[in-house]
């Protein structure tokens, strides 16, 4: 009886050991990267079909999900190189909410961790017979190739490199004829780019007349067309038509209370509906176009640093266009003074140096785009900073694009200056 009990107990122990024992595992541990050098973040879905492990453990069809954080992968799997039947793991990489790619792993037994490259199986192998024909394949032997080649446009006898290509009436690729400065029309013809009724501009003109405190009549060099395009500035302050002055033809007449005083500066800008070589059809848009707007960053150095930027691409501006620039800076600090600057390309549009107590600086400028370069005008002011107006010329090649930069600097490290808002618009 005792012997029988011992044998039953031993069998139970062996059975319990068989149930508790787990199949051997191989560790796959690696750091995963994306092609741009950043670390992979996502999940790996590892699936397999039923197989028998080397220790006769029954592995049933299933899958597991492994999270990869900051590229770090670690997972333990039953070896498959010694399994029955031979088996592989299917690994699906999922990142950014979608499946990225899929591969197969064949895992050997290993007492030390393996990398992904140690278990990845070869894929995409070529099958079939490789031809040793070194004579090449003729066009006629490729089904449909001759017909496809015949259907494509071909060069005409007048085709020449380095010119604008057009399709002629025969369907051949030809070259547009004309001068290098001509514009090409949709029908392939070419001609001068000037439009018969393209507008042009007069900017920062000083009206003719004596500024003596009694004279109220001043003359312009041309008649504004339309009249509403006329903008008259007195010491940088925009005057209002009908309230500060009246206009008749090319004559501007100030009302008595707004009579210019000795030392005052008058400037006038307006549009002309005339013709000329520098006029361009690109100036015929009818509404304001916002090229850039936004908020900038803060200055942290004592040298001028770009706090905001507007990049106007090539081909956007044409002769006759007008671009207006507006900007606002805030100085919450109290440690020292500061400087602000706005540049049109490589030309300074505005530069102001402010004292410690100045809190806000605002301003606006305009660029009148010419056939070559631009004529600039600007005015700026602050809570304590006096109003200042300026005019300048720019030779920047806007046809290749131009950048409007908003800069700032502080006088004392630890102080603060911020570009709070800027906008760059093209106006009709």
- CA dist 96 and 94 (Å) reads 7
What CATH number has the domain bearing residue 347?
A: 2.60.120
Same domain, residue pair 290 and 277: no
For residue 194, tell me if it sits in a domain. no
- Establish if 326 belongs to a structural domain: yes
Chosen domain end from 229, 250, 281 = 281
Token representation of residue 50: 């039923």
Q: What confidence score (pLDDT) does residue 275 get? A: 45
Residue 11 is assigned to a structural domain of this protein: no
In angstroms, the Cα distances linking 180 to 157, 184, 278 are: 20, 10, 16
For residues 233 and 170, membership in a common domain is answered with no
The pLDDT value given to residue 193:
67
In which domain, by residue range, is 172 found? 154-184
- What is the number of residues in the chain? 428
Spatial distance between the Cα atoms of 428 and 426, rounded to a whole number of angstroms? 7
Q: Cβ–Cβ contacts within 10 Å for residue 128, how many?
A: 5
Give backbone dihedrals phi and psi of 25, rounded to 5 degrees, phi first: -125, 150
- Same structural domain for residues 299 and 415? yes
Domain boundary among 70, 102, 119: 119
Answer yes or no: do 290 and 423 share one domain. yes
What pLDDT is attached to residue 284? 43
pLDDT for res 365: 95
Residue 250 has what pLDDT?
A: 87
- pLDDT score of 150: 75
pLDDT tens digits for range 195-210: 544 557 888 888 888 8
pLDDT per residue as tens digits for the range 294-324: 899 999 899 999 999 998 888 778 888 899 9
In whole angstroms, give the CA distance from residue 330 to residue 297: 11
Write down the residue that tokens 């017979």 correspond to: 129
Strand ranges in 200-279 using DSSP code E only, listed in sequence order: 200-205, 217-219, 231-234, 237-238, 245-248, 251-254, 266-272
Say whether both 293 and 366 belong to one domain: yes
Give the residues of the chain that fall short of pLDDT 70.
1-21, 123-136, 192-199, 273-287, 428
Domain boundary among 258, 281, 304: 281
pLDDT at 101: 87
Structural contact between residues 105 and 81, judged by C-beta atoms closer than 8 angstroms: no
Compute the C-alpha angle 248/251/255, nearest 5°.
85
In a domain? residue 144: no
Establish if 351 belongs to a structural domain.
Answer: yes
Residues 318 and 418 in one domain: yes
Specify if 127 maps to a domain: no
Instruction: Tell me, yes or no, whether 102 and 25 share the same domain.
Output: yes
Residues 115 and 168 grouped into a single domain: no
CB-CB contact of 426 with 367 (8 Å) = no
Q: Which residues contact 282 (CB under 8 A, 6 or more apart)?
A: 317, 318, 319, 320, 321
Tally of structural domains, the chain:
4
Backbone dihedral region of 193: left (phi > 0), alpha (psi from -120 to 50 degrees) or beta? alpha
**Residue 192 domain-assigned?**
no
Do 77 and 24 lie in one domain? The reply is yes
Is the same domain home to 40 and 171? no
Residues 232, 312: one domain?
no
Indicate if 363 and 392 belong to the same structural domain.
Answer: yes
């Amino acid at each position: 009886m005792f012997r029988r009990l011992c044998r039953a107990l031993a069998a139970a122990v062996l059975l319990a050991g068989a149930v508790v024992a787990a199949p051997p595992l191989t560790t796959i541990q690696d750091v995963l990267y994306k092609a741009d050098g950043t670390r992979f973040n996502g999940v790996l879905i590892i699936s397999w079909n039923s197989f028998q492990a080397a220790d006769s453990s029954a592995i049933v069809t299933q899958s597991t999900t492994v999270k990869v954080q900051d590229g770090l992968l670690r997972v333990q799997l039953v070896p498959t190189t010694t399994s029955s039947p031979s088996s592989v793991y299917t690994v699906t990489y999922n990142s950014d909410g979608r499946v990225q790619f899929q591969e197969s792993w064949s895992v050997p037994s290993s007492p030390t961790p393996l990398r992904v490259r140690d278990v990845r199986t070869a894929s995409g192998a070529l099958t079939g017979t490789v031809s040793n024909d070194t004579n090449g394949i003729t066009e006629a032997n490729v089904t449909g190739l001759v017909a496809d080649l015949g259907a494509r446009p071909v060069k005409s006898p007048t085709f020449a490199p380095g010119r604008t290509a057009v399709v002629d009436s025969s369907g051949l690729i030809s070259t547009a004829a004309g001068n290098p400065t001509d514009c090409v029309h949709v029908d392939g013809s070419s001609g001068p780019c000037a439009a018969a009724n393209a507008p042009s501009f007069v900017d920062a003109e000083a009206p003719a007349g004596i500024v003596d405190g009694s004279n109220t009549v001043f003359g312009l060099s041309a008649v504004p067309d339309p009249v509403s395009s006329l903008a008259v500035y007195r010491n940088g302050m925009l005057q209002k038509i009908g309230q500060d002055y009246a206009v008749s033809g090319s004559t501007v007449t100030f009302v008595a209370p707004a009579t210019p005083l000795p030392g005052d500066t008058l400037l006038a800008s307006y549009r002309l509906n005339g013709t000329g070589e520098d006029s361009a059809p690109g100036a015929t848009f009818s509404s304001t176009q916002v090229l850039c707007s936004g908020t900038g960053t803060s200055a942290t150095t004592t040298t001028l640093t770009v706090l905001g930027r507007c990049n106007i691409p090539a081909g956007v501006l044409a002769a006759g266009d007008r671009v207006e620039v507006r900007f606002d800076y805030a100085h919450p600090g109290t440690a020292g003074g500061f400087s602000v600057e706005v540049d049109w390309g490589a030309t300074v549009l505005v530069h102001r140096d402010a004292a410690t107590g100045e809190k806000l600086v605002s301003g606006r400028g305009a660029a009148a785009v010419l056939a070559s370069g631009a004529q600039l005008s600007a005015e700026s002011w602050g809570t304590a900073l006096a109003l200042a107006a300026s005019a300048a010329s720019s030779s920047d090649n806007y046809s290749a694009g131009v950048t409007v930069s908003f800069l700032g600097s502080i006088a004392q490290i630890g102080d603060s200056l911020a570009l709070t808002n800027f906008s760059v618009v093209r106006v009709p």
